[in-house]
Amino acid sequence: MKLATWNVNSLNVRLPQVLDWLRDNPVDALGLQELKLTDDKFPQQAFTDIGYHAVWTGQKTYNGVAILSREPGEDVTRDIGNYTDIQRRVIATTLPSPAGPVRVVCVYCPNGQALDSDKYVYKLEWFLALRDWLKSELARYPRLAVLGDYNIAPADEDVHDPAKWEGGVHVSPPERDALKQLIGLGLSDAFRLFEQPPKSFSWWDYRMMGFRRNAGLRIDHILLSDPLREVCTACDIDKGPRGNTQPSDHTPVIATLTF
DNA sequence: ATGGTCGTGAGACGA
């Protein structure tokens, strides 16, 4: 079973690239972030045509998340428990697997903008709410995968130039602590279960030829509960789509589970 | 060089 995540930065613009990628990488589930379209504009038929089910929650201009899957899902959730948030950042569904139900949670975590921003306060609050909700999800679903754009680079090795980024959003100690609190629920960063090339990133700024210089961050993650960690046999970043014409600034991350 | 580039949607704003 392969699970993937990709922040597409507008599904309107990136739909052809998503379809192409799925033809080459027929994963069992793909979480998408930053759809930037309303529910009525979601291109369901295009995914149906290539054999994928879809669940989504959209929003005009900003945010929006979806999960595409080979098998239909159950128990779709579009909120973090009781946390009231007009921003559409979470969707979850339960998929079948040989080992039993796998809960897939797709998240588009807040960016935070800057350490002195109200958006940074919102980001940290949002992560607390996510943690509390994931704790209850984990109790209900032992096989839990939480994938998406976390907008947090877990460690300096996930940053192209730690000195330049120090004191900035995505790397600050409170943000890294927020991510560690998710890990502390009993989740593992699938990417770090394996030996990886140095300077592995999942996002590169459009500006300053960030991709060409490999000036990136690893901020897109797949977190796995212990029963899934035990069967995870690979986790890789596919840099290919970042080299496309008119690319997203993020590229997919894929985890392989072998039951 | 304190900027740069995208996407959205029609001027900034968010990332």
3-state secondary structure of A91: strand
| Annotated binding-site ranges of A | 7, 34, 149, 151, 249-250
Considering only CA atoms, which residue is closest to the C1' of nucleotide B8? A61
Band of residue A139 on the pLDDT scale cut at 50, 70, 90: very high
Cβ atoms A238, A206 nearer than 8 A: no
Amino acid at A135: K
Question: What are the backbone angles phi and psi of residue A118, rounded to the nearest 5°?
Answer: -60, -30
**Phi and psi at residue A179, in whole multiples of 5°?**
-70, -40
Q: Which residues of A are catalytic?
A: 108, 149, 250
CATH superfamily of A2-257: Endonuclease/exonuclease/phosphatase (3.60.10.10)
CB within 7 A of nucleic chain B: A 9-10, 12-13, 36-37, 60-62, 110-111, 113, 119, 151, 206-208, 246
Tell me how far apart the alpha carbons of residues A129 and A251 are, in angstroms, rounded to a whole number.
27
- Rounded to 5°, angle at Cα A135 from A133 and A138: 110
- Nucleotide closest to residue A248 (CA–C1'): B6
| Mean residue pLDDT across chain A | 97
Local confidence band at A27 (pLDDT 50, 70, 90 cut-offs):
very high
Q: What is the pLDDT of residue A96?
A: 98
- Number of residues written out for chain A: 259
Residue among A218, A254, A259, A258 nearest A31 (CA) = A254
Residue nearest to nucleotide B15 (CA to C1'): A111
pLDDT of residue A146: 98
Residue entry with tokens 């080299």: A243
Q: Which residues contact A67 (CB under 8 A, 6 or more apart)?
A: A29, A30, A31, A32, A54, A55, A56, A73, A91, A92, A93, A104, A106
Note the pTM of the prediction, 2 decimals: 0.98
Token pair of A160 as six digits: 């192209």
Q: State percent of chain A over pLDDT 90.
A: 99
Query: In chain A, pLDDT over 70 holds for what percent of residues?
Result: 100
* Chain segment A206-241, per-residue pLDDT in tens: 999 999 999 999 999 999 999 999 999 999 999 999
Q: How far is the CA of A26 from the C1' of B14 (A)?
A: 32
**Predicted confidence band of residue A130 (pLDDT cuts 50, 70, 90):** very high
Average pLDDT of span A156-164: 96
pLDDT bin (cut points 50, 70, 90) of residue A22 is very high
The C-alpha atoms of residue A150 and residue A170 are separated, in whole angstroms, by 9
**Amino acid found at A127:** F
Instruction: Say which amino acid occupies A54.
Output: A
List all nucleotides in chain B with at least one atom under 7 A from a protein Cβ: 4-9, 14-15
pLDDT tens digits along A33-59 = 999 999 999 999 999 999 999 999 999
The residue extents of the domains of chain A are 2-257
Q: How far is the CA of A141 from the C1' of B9 (A)?
A: 41
* Binding-site residue set of A for Mg(2+): 7, 34, 149, 151, 249-250
pLDDT of the residue at A28: 98
| Rounded Cα gap, residues A130 and A217, in angstroms | 22
